[in-house]
Chains A and B, each alone.
Chain A
Amino acid sequence: MSHLLELEGVSKRFGGVQAVDSVDFFADPGEIVGVIGPNGAGKTTLFNIVTGFYSPDAGKINFDGHNLVGLKPNQITRVGISRTFQSVRLFAAMTVLENAMVGQHTRTKAGIYGALFNTRRTVNEEQKVHTSAIESLSFFGERLTPRINSLASELAYADRRRLEIARAMATEPQLLLLDEPAAGMNPAEKEGLIELIGRLRDEKGYAIVLIEHDMPVIKGVSDRVVALDYGKKIAEGSYDEVAADPQVIAAYLGKAGSEEQQ
């Protein structure tokens, strides 16, 4: 059985920095993979390559039978990968509902003609967009639904993170890439996040890849953990295996050590 997402020997260089160095990586349907590594290890760059923001210098990327190399981000979203951003990037001047509705873009078709003449298909489609946006928002219980008409910029921080996930859900992905979803959350919120990620897999059937610095979160949700350092994959396996890996420990300690020296 082939993997849902499979990367083979993917590399990316920025000037003199080898940000990603021939990384092999995969994710299976319904799997939750944690990606860890010190700052600058190339985790977000990896996400940016998978989602088409950067094109890799070398390597193959396959997803659900599609070759992703050379596709634009919007096309990659269409084939079923969605993502969130490390620094929450919502459409701040839009309402919560509108943010989620934008997510439905690739799943709908209405163009100028439909909008102008308000055809039955467009009306139905708008209805569907609305329902599906509400559905994504209500996944978060009472956190977002009471606020659908407030501006995204008016939300509390944790709710912005939630809205970003809801927006990504609205694209109806098979694979969800979460970039540090726990950043800035308090312990209680982190607990909620662990549960939420589990539910995303169980109820929605997504495969999930998440970048996270917070080890309890990684430990709590991951089926498998991949560690990167200086753009290279240095370890892979269950959380316990990776956490015990001397290279991983060295990578974290080395960083911590050098930070202390400064």
Chain B
Amino acid sequence: MSAPAPAPAEQSSRRLRFERIPMRRIILIVLSVSIIYGVVAGSTATLRTGVFTAEDWQSLFINGLARGSVYALIAIGYTLVYGILFMINFAHGEVFMAGVYTAYFVAVAFAGNGFLNSNPLLSIAILLLVSMAVSVFIAVLLERLAYRPLRGAPRLVPLITAIGASFFLQYTFRGFYGANVRAYPTIEILQGKWTIFGIQMLKTQAIVIVAALFLWFLLYLFVARTKTGRSMRAVGEDREIASLMGINVDRTIVATFAIGGALAGAAGILYVFLFNQVIFTMGFLPGIKAFTAAVLGGIGSITGAAMGGLILGILEAVGPNLFLTGAEVPSPNQLQPVIAFGILVLVLIFLPGGFLGASEEKRA
């Protein structure tokens, strides 16, 4: 005898039991276990081969710290804007590019007449000023022309605009300055190495790390202590109430973009200390990586942006060699973007609030 057909209630109950299996959680667990396995296995294999000496790891670490400092400075621009407008300013990488690319021509002029190496500190200060000024100008222009008309629009609308702005700016500067890679003139006093606490590092790396820390600290004080900084936090909390309290919301938003731009401009100069070249597309990858850093640290948090930047920089510099060499992956450093984007994806999946950020908003 065959069993009687299950009653509808029973059937739906069986369906529910099946659907109750948390598929997503299972996928996530499988994913995280395999990633952890890959990382551990790859790292141990690499370490066992002994291809890299302790000094190699040290220098990779410093390298990561230096580039991470640059990411951290750019990330602050994302974090500030997100904290106040809840939009991803996708074009922020281009703000970064615009400043340092423009300053390039000043650097070339200085190098041409010898000023660059006869007055290196003054030259660097001027380059910084030019780069920051141009970046601030572009950031503020962007806000005024592209984003301000869209306040209050559905969330994806400003994001699409920002993507459009990113390409628009890239190709604008391509039109202005050309499509070639241009080598930044070298500054002699920045060449060579220092030994600090027994660790050898390039002078540029040390300077980048210290300068980034200093700028970050300035910003931290600014946001914590000044009136504009307090306004920024207030507007981020609740724009309407802030404006009722007499805060000029427009001006505060402009200030936010300007500060983000200034730091991006400074980051640009630090970036060329490390990488020595500019091209119109140079903003894209650092931009995305800085955004990753901002999310990693918890978007909206300035400390988070700094931490996220450093962590990302180190993972990116050390990671491919550590995880992949042992797995006999040829030229692992080619896969650096995979590490960066992989972290981005994983952070958003597992830790959408970041290390320091608030958890996802409540629903319903």
Q: Are B20 and A71 in contact (CB under 8 A)?
A: yes
Q: Are B16 and A53 in contact (CB under 8 A)?
A: no
Q: Are B363 and A53 in contact (CB under 8 A)?
A: yes
Chain A interface category by residue count? 10 to 19
Q: Are B16 and A66 in contact (CB under 8 A)?
A: yes
CB contacts (< 8 Å) of B13 on chain A: these are 65-66
Q: Are B12 and A79 in contact (CB under 8 A)?
A: yes
User: Is residue B125 contacting chain A, with contact meaning CB distance below 8 A?
Assistant: no
Partner among A14, A78, A79 whose Cβ is within 8 Å of the Cβ of B362: A14
Q: How far is the CA of A91 from the CA of B20 in the complex (A)?
A: 28
User: Is residue A146 contacting chain B, with contact meaning CB distance below 8 A?
Assistant: no
User: Is residue B3 contacting chain A, with contact meaning CB distance below 8 A?
Assistant: no
Q: For residue B263, give the distance in angstroms from its CB to the closest CB of chain A.
A: 32
User: Is residue A75 contacting chain B, with contact meaning CB distance below 8 A?
Assistant: yes
Q: For residue B33, give the distance in angstroms from its CB to the closest CB of chain A.
A: 22
Kindly report which residue of chain A lies nearest to residue B363, judged by CB atoms: A53
User: Is residue A48 contacting chain B, with contact meaning CB distance below 8 A?
Assistant: yes
User: Is residue B364 contacting chain A, with contact meaning CB distance below 8 A?
Assistant: yes
CB contacts (< 8 Å) of B22 on chain A: these are 70
CB contacts (< 8 Å) of B20 on chain A: these are 70-71
Q: How far is the CA of A65 from the CA of B22 in the complex (A)?
A: 21
User: Is residue B9 contacting chain A, with contact meaning CB distance below 8 A?
Assistant: yes
Q: For residue A88, give the distance in angstroms from its CB to the closest CB of chain B.
A: 14
Partner among B9, B19, B363, B364 whose Cβ is within 8 Å of the Cβ of A75: B19
Q: For residue B269, give the distance in angstroms from its CB to the closest CB of chain A.
A: 43
Partner among A53, A65, A79 whose Cβ is within 8 Å of the Cβ of B364: A53
Q: How far is the CA of A54 from the CA of B362 in the complex (A)?
A: 9
CB contacts (< 8 Å) of A85 on chain B: these are 364
Q: For residue A3, give the distance in angstroms from its CB to the closest CB of chain B.
A: 16
Partner among B9, B19, B362, B363 whose Cβ is within 8 Å of the Cβ of A65: B9
Q: For residue B346, give the distance in angstroms from its CB to the closest CB of chain A.
A: 24
CB contacts (< 8 Å) of B364 on chain A: these are 48, 53-54, 85
Mask of A60-89 contacts with B, CB within 8 angstroms, 1/0: 000011100011100100110000010000
CB contacts (< 8 Å) of A75 on chain B: these are 16, 19
Q: How far is the CA of A122 from the CA of B345 in the complex (A)?
A: 39
CB contacts (< 8 Å) of B12 on chain A: these are 78-79
CB contacts (< 8 Å) of A78 on chain B: these are 12
Kindly report which residue of chain A lies nearest to residue B12, judged by CB atoms: A79
Q: For residue B110, give the distance in angstroms from its CB to the closest CB of chain A.
A: 55
Kindly report which residue of chain A lies nearest to residue B13, judged by CB atoms: A66
Mask of B264-285 contacts with A, CB within 8 angstroms, 1/0: 0000000000000000000000
Q: For residue A85, give the distance in angstroms from its CB to the closest CB of chain B.
A: 8
CB contacts (< 8 Å) of A64 on chain B: these are 9
Residues B5-38 near A (CB distance < 8 A)? 9, 12-13, 16, 19-20, 22
Q: How far is the CA of A79 from the CA of B17 in the complex (A)?
A: 12
Q: For residue A57, give the distance in angstroms from its CB to the closest CB of chain B.
A: 15
Q: How far is the CA of A85 from the CA of B12 in the complex (A)?
A: 27
CB contacts (< 8 Å) of A70 on chain B: these are 20, 22
CB contacts (< 8 Å) of A72 on chain B: these are 19
Q: How far is the CA of A72 from the CA of B13 in the complex (A)?
A: 14
Q: How far is the CA of A71 from the CA of B20 in the complex (A)?
A: 6
Q: For residue A171, give the distance in angstroms from its CB to the closest CB of chain B.
A: 14
Q: For residue A58, give the distance in angstroms from its CB to the closest CB of chain B.
A: 18
Q: For residue B14, give the distance in angstroms from its CB to the closest CB of chain A.
A: 11
Q: For residue B10, give the distance in angstroms from its CB to the closest CB of chain A.
A: 9
CB contacts (< 8 Å) of B363 on chain A: these are 53-54
CB contacts (< 8 Å) of A48 on chain B: these are 364
Q: How far is the CA of A70 from the CA of B362 in the complex (A)?
A: 18
CB contacts (< 8 Å) of B362 on chain A: these are 14
CB contacts (< 8 Å) of A54 on chain B: these are 363-364
Q: How far is the CA of A79 from the CA of B22 in the complex (A)?
A: 18
Kindly report which residue of chain B lies nearest to residue A47, judged by CB atoms: B364
Which 9 A/B pairs are nearest by Cβ-Cβ distance?
Answer: A53-B364, A48-B364, A70-B20, A53-B363, A75-B19, A75-B16, A66-B16, A66-B13, A65-B9
For the A-B complex with A53-B363, A71-B20, A79-B12 known, give 19 more contacts whose Cβ atoms are closer than 8 Å: A14-B362, A48-B364, A53-B364, A54-B363, A54-B364, A64-B9, A65-B9, A65-B13, A66-B13, A66-B16, A70-B20, A70-B22, A71-B19, A72-B19, A75-B16, A75-B19, A78-B12, A79-B16, A85-B364
22 A-B residue pairs with Cβ-Cβ distance under 8 Å, sorted by A, are A48-B364, A53-B363, A53-B364, A54-B363, A54-B364, A64-B9, A65-B9, A65-B13, A66-B13, A66-B16, A70-B20, A70-B22, A71-B16, A71-B19, A71-B20, A72-B19, A75-B16, A75-B19, A78-B12, A79-B12, A79-B16, A85-B364
